[in-house]
Structure 1
Amino acid sequence: MTTVVDVDARGMQHCETTALGVLLRHQGLDLSEPMLFGLGSGLSFIYWDGKNMDFPFLGGRVKPFELTRNLAAGLNLDLQVHETASPRRAWENVTAPIDAGRPVGLQLDSYHLDYFRSKVHFGGHIVALYGYDDHDAYLVDTDQQGGAVSTSLTGLARARAARGPMTAKHRSFTLTAPRNPPSPQSQIIPAITACADAFLNPPIANLGHRGIEKAGKLVRTWFQRTDTPQRDLPQAALLMEKAGTGGALFRNLYRDFLAECAQLLDSSRLRTGHGLYTEAAALWTEVAALITKAGESGDTQCLVQAGTILCDLSRIEREAMQALSRLDAYERKVAPSTARGLA
């Protein structure tokens, strides 16, 4: 058995931040999960539907691996990414860093992992690999999936080779911190303003605050979108609350990120954003509950209520991001004197 020594195999709530936490702690950089999510400008929104989809999908974050790229760029981390069509080369790309004593991040389809109890194809799942033997691979996944877990090498190979939405060609990656990395605190404002700008200026109406408003209109029609509402509506709500989002479609994570930032920077705009995202997180959980109730009861009024709240959420989040997008010019002057350092 070959394993990386001294890996902190700590599971978190969300898969990508869990993997990033493992890789960065091994580099001596220990950040909270909300801070990893926020510094990666991870928050977003998408209303995704299509002819080949059984039911609409509500997403609350940027696309898979974009968070990792954003975080690496902001913290000046050396991000080495390997992709290949060859299973043999793909395995070599993983064993080389493991043999050299470094954990590796993998993007794969969670459907094929032995320890997953819910068998749904998701090609954007990310885990950290820290060891292997002749039969099994040793991974770190979310708390929900068990934290430090193992899966067969054959299952891992199938998961990495899978094709379909959000998959990557046997993607593996490592992160290396520079000798003198920038302070994570110095990257708070750039990360927040980049996230806010993208949210406020989406290229299409399915994204950002426009996407939430669109969802508010379309969710009312969801009974017409499925023959099995008792299955599809509760499942959509479950994805919002339980499927590695940290709750409230990632709004809980971003709320906690802003709270952590408000302890470091004395900013009225930051406090405004935090207050609005505290309100938004509670409303997203209410929306999920209404969607579940609609599926279980067949009551269309529940979807009407959910749609009304989503339209309110579009406004609330737009106002929050407008406040946060204006951090840059003002806060650069006060941050150095008021910041109290990352704990």
Structure 2
Amino acid sequence: MQLSSYTHSPGAHCGSASLHNLATFYDWGFSESLCFGLGSGLGFGYYERGPASRVIMGRNSGLETNFFETLGIDYREQSGQQRESAWNDVREQLEDGVPVMLFVDLYYLDYFNTDTHFGPHILLCVGIEGNEVRLSDSEFDSIQRLPISHLRDAWDSDYGFGPLDNRWLVVQDPTVETSLPTAADTAIERTATMLLSSNDGNWKAQGIDAIRRFANDLPNWTALEDTSWCARFAYQNIERRGTGGGAFRRLYAEFLDEVAPELGLREDVPTRLYDIADDWTHLSTTLKNASEAEGEEQAQLLENASDQANGIADREEELFTRLREL
């Protein structure tokens, strides 16, 4: 059993690519960058837990649900069910011809061949055949196969930014109730407010304040037992690991480019964010170099990274303050 009308496309980021594949399935006509922006996906988190003792994340936890709520699309979300109950519900949705969004730990996805726990990784379950599931995963060019038992391990893993709790989500009514200009305006205001707020989000320490905490703490990483891994993982979470490059800022700049004519935004607004994305990319290079250095050289590179990150925080604060006012 596989959804015959489903078309898989890879993408830049797991969450926004999954939304884009749903947009194709339901004929909404949204690009991946548009999905990311309408979901107010941009953010920043700095955490003292995870695969390394210091971890950064360039998006926020609400992308997927924000997308549906901003557009007025009726959806159903479940988490915390027992394995069998959750799996039976997912199977029923697939039998009804509905793709199901799942939130998993990619450590248990055999086709990734990784020894690093990371979650939530978002994908779409689009079929079942015998003891295997068919998964639409943004990282791959084609539908992937996985034993159901391994999916269940990935689905209720305790690793990641909080337990995954067998979380799943489906569209109940694909009708889009909100116009694109209205939805885009709402989404931009939400993004700016989240980035400029000092309040913690679901993933804790989200926003420009968290960028500054990260920046100011970077020189202290030399005292950590896993300094090189922290620097390496930070580099990966800025430039690789499904960010679209530049800590998700490039993906959001593409969104601003798409909606600028509808909202009357000046051309320099997305251009400034493209420049900030480049700054993040330059920072990631410094962190990558720090991960490969030792002693005084590593300490100096982390000092340099601190200066770069503080400069980024200043530029983001200026840009998103302006966006919120607009």
Q: How far apart, in 2, do the equivalents of 1:229 and 1:82 lie? A: 38
SS in 2 for 1:106: strand
Alignment correspondent of 1:222: 221
Contact kept, 8 Å, 1:122 with 1:166, in 2: the verdict is no
Q: How far apart, in 2, do the equivalents of 1:106 and 1:213 lie? A: 32
Deviations 1:283-326 (A, max 9, x none): 10111100111121221221111111111111100011011101
- Give yes or no for the alignment of 1:154 onto 2:149: yes
Match of 1:250 among 242, 248, 251: 248
Amino acid aligned to 1:262? A
Offset at 1:26? Answer: 1.6
- Structure 1 window deviating more from structure 2 (10-19 vs 171-180): it is 171-180
Match of 1:163 among 158, 162, 165: 158
Contact kept, 8 Å, 1:23 with 1:174, in 2: the verdict is no
Amino acid aligned to 1:55? S
Alignment correspondent of 2:28: 29
SS in 2 for 1:256: helix
Q: How far apart, in 1, do the equivalents of 2:263 and 2:142 lie? A: 33
Alignment correspondent of 1:3: 2
Q: How far apart, in 2, do the equivalents of 1:48 and 1:206 lie? A: 8
Match of 2:273 among 268, 271, 277: 277
Amino acid aligned to 1:166? G
- Give yes or no for the alignment of 1:17 onto 2:16: yes
The 5 A counterparts of 1:1-343 are 2-50=1-49, 54-63=52-61, 66-142=62-138, 144-164=139-159, 165-179=161-175, 181-204=177-200, 206-226=205-225, 228-268=226-266, 271-298=267-294, 299=297, 300-327=299-326
Q: How far apart, in 2, do the equivalents of 1:146 and 1:267 lie? A: 35
Alignment correspondent of 1:332: none
Offset at 1:170? Answer: 1.1
Amino acid aligned to 1:237? Y
Amino acid aligned to 2:26? Q
SS in 1 for 2:188: helix
Q: Give the superposed CA RMSD.
A: 1.9
Q: How far apart, in 2, do the equivalents of 1:41 and 1:254 lie? A: 9
Contact kept, 8 Å, 2:55 with 2:233, in 1: the verdict is no
Contact kept, 8 Å, 2:52 with 2:233, in 1: the verdict is no
Deviations 1:13-34 (A, max 9, x none): 1111122222232211121111
Offset at 1:231? Answer: 3.7
Alignment length (residue pairs): 319
Contact kept, 8 Å, 2:19 with 2:32, in 1: the verdict is no
Q: How far apart, in 2, do the equivalents of 1:272 and 1:319 lie? A: 13
Q: How far apart, in 2, do the equivalents of 1:57 and 1:145 lie? A: 25
Contact kept, 8 Å, 2:73 with 2:175, in 1: the verdict is no
Q: How far apart, in 1, do the equivalents of 2:44 and 2:176 lie? A: 34
Gap regions ≥5 residues in structure 2 = none
Contact kept, 8 Å, 1:98 with 1:130, in 2: the verdict is yes
Q: 1:311 to 1:267 in 2, by over 3 A?
A: same
Deviations 1:82-104 (A, max 9, x none): 23432211111111111111111
Deviations 1:101-131 (A, max 9, x none): 1111111211111111223212311110110
Q: How far apart, in 2, do the equivalents of 1:80 and 1:180 lie? A: 15
Q: How far apart, in 1, do the equivalents of 2:141 and 2:163 lie? A: 23
Amino acid aligned to 1:309? Q
Q: How far apart, in 1, do the equivalents of 2:198 and 2:140 lie? A: 33
TM-score (norm 2): 0.92
Report % sequence identity. Answer: 25
Q: How far apart, in 1, do the equivalents of 2:237 and 2:212 lie? A: 19
Q: 1:146 to 1:117 in 2, by over 3 A?
A: farther
SS in 1 for 2:274: helix
